[in-house]
Amino acid sequence: MIDFHSHILPDVDDGAEDIITALKMLKRAKRDGIDTVVSTSHAYIGDESDIDSFIERRNRAYDELYNAMSIDGGDFPEIRLGAELHLKSYIGRYDTVTKLAVQKTDYILIEMPYSGWNQELYEAIYNIKLMGLKPVMAHIERYMRYRSEFHNLKALDVLFQVNADSFLSKPMRKTLLDLFYRDYVHILGSDMHNLDERKNRMAEATDILRNRYGRKFCEYLEDNVTAVLNNEQPKEAKLPKIGFLDRLKL
pTM value? 0.97
Least confident of 1-5, 72-76, 99-103, 237-241: 237-241
Span 128-140, average pLDDT: 98
Least confident of 29-38, 72-81, 137-146, 238-247: 238-247
Residue 200 carries which side chain, given as an amino acid letter? Answer: N
Span 67-91, average pLDDT: 97
Of residues 249 and 239, more confidence is placed in 239
Summarised one tens digit per residue, pLDDT across range 19-46 is 999 999 999 999 999 999 999 999 999 9
Residue 106 carries which side chain, given as an amino acid letter? Answer: D
The model's confidence at residue 246, banded by pLDDT at 50, 70 and 90, is confident
For the chain, the residue count is 250
- The mean of the pLDDT values for the chain is 96
Q: Is 82 left (phi over 0), alpha (psi -120 to 50) or beta?
A: beta
CATH number at residue 218: 3.20.20.140
Split into its structural domains, the chain has a count of 1
The model's confidence at residue 163, banded by pLDDT at 50, 70 and 90, is very high
Span 139-162, average pLDDT: 96
Q: Which residue segment(s) compose the domain that 197 sits in?
A: 2-248
2 burial type by CB count under 10 A (0-12 exposed, 13-18 middle, 19+ buried): buried
User: Taking a C-beta distance cutoff of 8 angstroms, is the pair 192, 3 a contact?
Assistant: yes
Alpha-carbon distance of 221 to 162, in angstroms, equals 10
- Is the confidence at residue 235, as pLDDT, over 90? no
145-152: long-range contacts (C-beta < 8 A, 24 or more apart)? 146/112, 146/117, 149/117, 150/182, 150/184, 152/122
Span 130-136, average pLDDT: 98
